[in-house]
Amino acid sequence: MVCQNSDVLGERIRNRRREIGMTAQQLARAAELSPAQVSQIERGNNDPSLEALRRIARALNTPLFDLFSDRVDQPVRVIREADRMIIRSPHGGLSYSRVSPGSGQLEVLAGELEPGAASSDTLWSHPPSEECVLVSSGTLTLEVDSDTIELQAGDSAYFESLHPHRFVNNTDAMVSFTISVTPPSF
């Protein structure tokens, strides 16, 4: 996984854990990680995978991208393309850049999925939210529950995030898409 400074990320995870009164052992158990992994992540000695961060965020009842941003109250926030926070999967193949500032009621992510890649190894769900995906280029396969839907450039799909889901690129070309999630739970 490639993300911002591991020390800052670890500190935010530790602070959030303490804020909700959870021990490192409890976090490890809830996130299905070893206590050593949690300790290394919190100390900034481990660059966690996207899957590990998803588990930690879920255990902390926090949207994933909130682990990467400071809360700022401003009436208008501009996110320059060069300043976007980007997260890539450890295996490669998937990247998300945060288009929205975070800490609000709407999360917007620009995603790119390489040929043959998937957003996760298996279908997964997360806390109650509404998601809408819009394909900018390529063909994106959306798997939700037992349904498989192919979306072409310009197509969109809406679903509730409690339904296990994932995005797959079954083509030989890069797929670009935008995901909007409200409230943020990604």
Q: Which CATH class is domain 81-182?
A: mainly beta
d(CA 129, CA 104): 13
What's the pLDDT band for 103 if we cut at 50, 70, 90? low
Q: Most confidently modeled of 31-35, 64-68, 104-108, 127-131?
A: 31-35
In this model, does residue 99 exceed pLDDT 70? yes
| 3-state percent helix, strand, coil for the chain, nearest multiple of 5 | 25, 30, 45
Phi, psi of 103 (to 5 degrees): 65, 15
**What is the mean pLDDT of the segment spanning 81-103?**
79
pLDDT value at position 173?
97
Contact 166, 122 (CB under 8 A): yes
In this model, does residue 159 exceed pLDDT 90? yes
What's the pLDDT band for 3 if we cut at 50, 70, 90? very low
Contact 104, 184 (CB under 8 A): yes
- Each domain of the chain, given as residue ranges in start order, spans 6-62, 81-182
Residues near 102 by Cβ (< 8 Å), separated by ≥ 6? 63, 65, 66, 68, 69, 184
Residue with tokens 């109250």: 73
pLDDT value at position 1?
41
d(CA 131, CA 115): 23
Q: Which CATH class is domain 6-62?
A: mainly alpha
Q: Furthest-apart CA pair in the chain: how many Å?
A: 47
The residues pairing with 133 across neighbouring beta strands, listed in sequence order, are: 157, 179
pLDDT value at position 2?
41
Q: Output the average pLDDT for the chain.
A: 86
**What is the mean pLDDT of the segment spanning 136-142?**
98
Complete edge-to-edge strand list for the sheet that includes strand 175-182: 86-88, 94-98, 107-113, 175-182, 130-137, 156-160
What is the DSSP code (8-state) at residue 131?
Answer: E
Residue with tokens 């999360």: 107
d(CA 2, CA 36): 20
The share of the chain scoring above pLDDT 70, in percent, equals 89
pLDDT in tens, 70-87: 556 667 778 788 877 777
In this model, does residue 4 exceed pLDDT 60? no
